Structure 1
Amino acid sequence: MLKRPTEMLTRRSESLLAKDTAANADRLTQALAGKSCLVIGGAGSIGSETTLLLAQFPLSRLTIIDQDENGLARLVRRLRGNALAPATAQIDSLPMDYGSTAFFAMLRASEPYDYVLNFAALKHVRSEKQPWSIFAMMDTNILKQSDLLSALSEAGQPFRYFSVSTDKAANPVSFMGATKRVMEHVMFTEAANVSSARFANVAYSQGSLLESFCDRLDSDTPLAAPLGIERFFFTLEEAGQMCLLTGILGETGKIYIPDLSPEEHLVSMETAAISFLKANGYEAIAYPLEKQAEAFSDFAELKAAGKWPLILTPSDTAGEKPYEEFAGEKETVSDSTFAALKALNYAPSNFASGVSALSAKLRELKLDTSALSKLSTDDMKAWVSEIEPDFEHRHIGSEKTLDDRI
């Protein structure tokens, strides 16, 4: 059976959030008993882990939204196939886009939700390819959330809102990180009872580089990893627990981050690949990118000798940050009510009018495909820089993309 060594990546033998989750079990039950919860993007890796935890509490109603119909089917099978039956009275899974007409019709027809947890996002740096994929990222990460919050507020009932952010929103160098930072501005300025979380790369989550290690081992393909890139790692269990705790019990106006140290917890992607191969019984044999063809031609002989080619690529693609950080230069880190987490007080943008202006531009472009077809990356960079001025010089642009690499 293929092994996914997470302890080496996290440097932990148990969940970082295990004690906090156990200590707050009663508070979670009291907060959720008889309440309704809407989970958006619930079929993804982090959303599904959080949903599985939520279902163990006595909610009156749990509605799960995701465009990924197959992912929803897998999630419901996990919910119903669990030895511990869900404690939630009613569970519905609906395959739809949370910015669609069908979604807003459903929202209008439903009783108001007490909790809304949003995991929907375009979350890959590799999506920074063309102006239109970046526009789609802005639409999903910024505009659809703004429309959602407007619709929830129009219902006239108080609600608790949580949307997961990313470590890449701290001092962003990519459009993905920058749009998630703008997302934070939108949620904290357009709703009252709001919290968020930034955390590390989730090991072996859908679409991650570590998931590709598993796929390539199964398909007899050389592995690949970027040079000079260090990352913090979370397990899926930790990601779900962090979102549950901060989304339901977190203080409003706070962005929560893991209490991890760069010296102890940052791991290079090269080390992650070598450790993965070692755990699965292979010695990594490194090849530079220019010798990729040799890695393939040598593959059969290497595998027979208990070795596996590892292609090491330069980190020269768009938006690739060499290291991770959870707090921006102008943000202050403080202790939180959770032992394993720190908190940032939301720092409002000094250019709040830029957030409204950006939303207005995005709405106009959605209705004008002619104008949208002429959109440039520089246009969008200028728009974001009106809200986050440092993005103008921090952004790491490149003609090379991850899609051009193995």
Structure 2
Amino acid sequence: MAVKKKLAVLFIVDLIIIWFSIYSAYYFRFEGKLVEPYVNQMFLYCAISSVLCGACMAYFGMYRKMWQYASISEMFAMCQAVAIGWALSYAAASVLSEVRVPLAVAVRTLETSLLLVGGVRVIWRVIRLRQSSGMDKRIPTLIYGAGDCGALVAREFKGAAMADHKLIGFVDDARDKLHLTIHGLPVLGNRTDLSTLVEVFKIKEIIIAIPSVPRSQVSEIINLCMASGVQIKIIPAINDLIKGKISVNAIRNVDVEDLLGRDPVHADLQGIADYVHNKVVLVTGAGGSIGSELCRQVASFAPDKLLLLGHGENSIYTIEMELKHKYPGMLFEPIIADIQDRKRIEEVFDTYRPQVVFHAAAHKHVPLMEKNPAEAVKNNVFGTQNVADCADKYGTERFVLVSSDKAVNPTSVMGATKRIAEMYVQSLNASSRTRFASVRFGNVLGSRGSVIPAFKAQIARGGPVTVTDPQMVRYFMTIPEAVQLVIQAGAISQGGEIFILDMGEPVQILKLAEDLIRLSGYEPYIDIPIHFTGIREGEKLFEELLTAEEGATKTQHARIYIGKPEVIQQEDLYVELQKLNNVVLGNSEDLKDVIVQLVPLFARVS
């Protein structure tokens, strides 16, 4: 109804314009001194023009159009309506009047009518556009990357799925693309212009559409975009571009993993398939972050049977249901067992005779294990001993221990127990038919109890985010790539190695916290405070992947290295382990002293 009222007002305005055009034409033709016959003619001309011009403009749809969206075709139709109405009015007035309408009056009337009728509509359109731009709720967006992927994303923006976005243009570092247009949108500048473009165009979102460039470069661009305070989305991989098509579903939010700046891991699929395919594979700790991912990736190589062993029934049930849904024809065996229970582990090995074992079950939380050192020893040392002994006894072909960088020059009980576990499987390898190996890596992003979920929970609560020390750094890797390298290490193992995964460059925990706050849409220290709590018991500022004695040699895989194996006297190790067992059973306060006897590099924390 409101629209009809506005169009009725427009009709009245048009009539006023016609009358004004005729009056001004007569006024200028006779220099303001109208004689009697022309006064009557002017009123007659106004009456006739009101009817005929109004009818023509109505016929051409001038009062059915939304003029804020008018284009050239609407303006051309308006000119037709005015011209035809003028011609008919001029002819009718000349016939009905006592004297012919002066041609100069008619021409001036046409000129003024066209100018004012068109001008009113242009002004209306400008006013409405300004009003609508002020009310425009769409998200001003830039695309970073003016290549094939960026062009496909821009094309997707024309669809209804992206109607809430207002695409402003492109940013690209290629000089030859500057000022070009793609799908009618300009390439506005390069990375040095980013902050200026964000400010000028009030950009709220940047979509990074450069899936083929190295991850390190993508990481740099993400940091640049975050510094501009905008939301960042990304096209994650070149595989998302298939035959020139892309779905808006491929556009996702930037995650912390994108900031690592490392290219994806490429596995030797044939090598993995050879030792896992059609084999009975056991994964201990199968319900945990690493263990469950091991199950997912091992399942993709079609083992004969996959044994899912864990202590918690809920986590084992969850991973079993997931795998059964994804691999309906595969055999899975959920096993609830505690690796500290030697008899139960014997039963598992005797029943299923696993040919490949991935031992991921462990207590891993450093501060928690400092408060419960006996439990760390029982699980990480003697639990590993139980599983490794059974692998040896029942003829397992390969045994891979998932270790930690905290086993290097350990300052924590957890790290020391992982080092003892490494030593035990190394010593057992010397006399066993089983190929025993350990794989050592740093923190994995997103694992339960790791820093990322903790930071996310703190941000969700509104802060503060707690960081132990501003100088603390850690190596990080995503769970899937860490597990892929663990499986790959098992393929190349000859027995007795400690494999070290290339973790890339260490990451400052404080920067990680700041980045995660920005990725969550907040500004660190302003919206979300960061508090420093001090280093916890057993923690280091810097983690290491190798001791000075171990060194490192390359393998055929660019991301996997071998630490030089130490000579471990099996008899001496058994003696020290027996002492450790006696102390654990007696719950003695001298537990850490005994650990130091096994791991001299263990710096006891008071």
> TM above 0.5, one fold?
yes
What CA distance in whole angstroms lies between the structure 1 residues aligned with 2:325 and 2:559?
A: 31
What CA distance in whole angstroms lies between the structure 1 residues aligned with 2:581 and 2:397?
A: 25
Aligned partner (choices 261, 276, 280) of residue 11 of structure 1: 261
**Where in structure 2 are the equivalents of 1:130-169 lying within 5 Å?**
130=371, 133-155=372-394, 157-169=395-407
Measured against aligned partners, the alpha-carbon deviations of 1:355-388 in whole angstroms (never above 9, x if no partner) come to: 212322344456x5xx32xx11xx2222122222
What CA distance in whole angstroms lies between the structure 2 residues aligned with 1:362 and 1:388?
A: 12
Does 1:48 find its partner at 2:259?
A: no
Measured against aligned partners, the alpha-carbon deviations of 1:75-119 in whole angstroms (never above 9, x if no partner) come to: 12332344xx367x3111122212226633532541421101100
| Partner SS for 2:524 | strand
Aligned partner (choices 213, 219, 237) of residue 480 of structure 2: 237
Provide closer, same or farther for how the CA distance between residues 237 and 176 of structure 1 changes in structure 2, counting only shifts above 3 A: same
Does 1:318 find its partner at 2:568?
A: no
Gaps of 5+ in 2: 1-251
Does 1:114 find its partner at 2:352?
A: no
Aligned partner (choices 576, 579, 590) of residue 361 of structure 1: 579
Does 1:266 find its partner at 2:486?
A: no
Measured against aligned partners, the alpha-carbon deviations of 1:51-91 in whole angstroms (never above 9, x if no partner) come to: 10001112111101111222112212332344xx367x311
Instruction: Name the structure 2 match of 1:331.
Output: 550
Does 1:382 find its partner at 2:590?
A: no
Provide closer, same or farther for how the CA distance between residues 358 and 144 of structure 1 changes in structure 2, counting only shifts above 3 A: farther
What CA distance in whole angstroms lies between the structure 1 residues aligned with 2:460 and 2:562?
A: 40
Aligned partner (choices 328, 335, 338) of residue 94 of structure 1: 335
Identity of aligned residues (%): 24
The letter of the residue matching 2:315 is: G
Instruction: Name the structure 2 match of 1:197.
Output: 439
Instruction: Name the structure 1 match of 2:415.
Output: 177
The letter of the residue matching 1:266 is: P
Instruction: Name the structure 2 match of 1:292.
Output: none
Q: How many residues align?
A: 350
What TM-score does the superposition give when structure 2 sets the normalisation length? 0.55
Q: Which moved more, 1:38-47 or 1:251-260?
A: 251-260
Measured against aligned partners, the alpha-carbon deviations of 1:243-278 in whole angstroms (never above 9, x if no partner) come to: 1111243332211112345xxx11111111000000
Measured against aligned partners, the alpha-carbon deviations of 1:334-363 in whole angstroms (never above 9, x if no partner) come to: 1112111211132134x6544212322344
Over aligned residue pairs, what C-alpha RMSD do you find?
Answer: 2.2
Shift of 1:281: 0.6
What CA distance in whole angstroms lies between the structure 2 residues aligned with 1:181 and 1:43?
A: 23
Shift of 1:147: 2.2
Instruction: Name the structure 2 match of 1:403.
Output: none
Instruction: Name the structure 1 match of 2:243.
Output: none
Indicate if the aligned counterparts of 1:170 and 1:325 stay in contact, CA closer than 8 A: yes
Instruction: Name the structure 2 match of 1:296.
Output: none
Shift of 1:39: 0.7
Q: Which moved more, 1:68-77 or 1:274-283?
A: 68-77
Shift of 1:37: 0.7
Instruction: Name the structure 1 match of 2:106.
Output: none
What CA distance in whole angstroms lies between the structure 2 residues aligned with 1:226 and 1:243?
A: 29
Does 1:308 find its partner at 2:528?
A: yes
The letter of the residue matching 1:334 is: T
- Rg bigger for which structure? 2
| Partner SS for 1:98 | coil
| Partner SS for 1:347 | coil
Instruction: Name the structure 1 match of 2:239.
Output: none
| Partner SS for 2:256 | coil
* Higher RCO (CA < 8 A, seq sep 6+): 1
Indicate if the aligned counterparts of 2:342 and 2:386 stay in contact, CA closer than 8 A: no
Shift of 1:7: 2.0
Indicate if the aligned counterparts of 1:65 and 1:94 stay in contact, CA closer than 8 A: yes
Instruction: Name the structure 2 match of 1:402.
Output: none
| Partner SS for 1:129 | helix
Gaps of 5+ in 1: 286-301, 399-406
What CA distance in whole angstroms lies between the structure 1 residues aligned with 2:386 and 2:458?
A: 40
The letter of the residue matching 2:534 is: P
Does 1:213 find its partner at 2:431?
A: no
| Partner SS for 2:528 | strand
Aligned partner (choices 285, 305, 309) of residue 65 of structure 1: 309
Measured against aligned partners, the alpha-carbon deviations of 1:265-296 in whole angstroms (never above 9, x if no partner) come to: 111111110000001111111xxxxxxxxxxx
Measured against aligned partners, the alpha-carbon deviations of 1:213-262 in whole angstroms (never above 9, x if no partner) come to: 1222333342111212100110011111011111243332211112345x
What CA distance in whole angstroms lies between the structure 2 residues aligned with 1:365 and 1:182?
A: 15
Instruction: Name the structure 2 match of 1:401.
Output: none
The letter of the residue matching 2:439 is: A
Of Structure 1 and Structure 2, which has the larger fraction of its residues in helix?
2
What CA distance in whole angstroms lies between the structure 2 residues aligned with 1:259 and 1:52?
A: 22
| Partner SS for 2:438 | strand
Shift of 1:44: 0.8
Does 1:32 find its partner at 2:250?
A: no
Instruction: Name the structure 2 match of 1:256.
Output: 499
Indicate if the aligned counterparts of 2:370 and 2:538 stay in contact, CA closer than 8 A: no
Measured against aligned partners, the alpha-carbon deviations of 1:296-325 in whole angstroms (never above 9, x if no partner) come to: xxxxxx6xxxx112212222x211111121
What CA distance in whole angstroms lies between the structure 2 residues aligned with 1:94 and 1:225?
A: 38
| Partner SS for 1:283 | coil
What TM-score does the superposition give when structure 1 sets the normalisation length? 0.80
The letter of the residue matching 1:51 is: C
Measured against aligned partners, the alpha-carbon deviations of 1:170-200 in whole angstroms (never above 9, x if no partner) come to: 1111111111111111111123311111112
The letter of the residue matching 2:519 is: A
Indicate if the aligned counterparts of 2:411 and 2:540 stay in contact, CA closer than 8 A: yes
The letter of the residue matching 2:425 is: M
| Partner SS for 1:110 | helix
Indicate if the aligned counterparts of 1:139 and 1:362 stay in contact, CA closer than 8 A: no
| Partner SS for 1:162 | strand
The letter of the residue matching 1:197 is: V
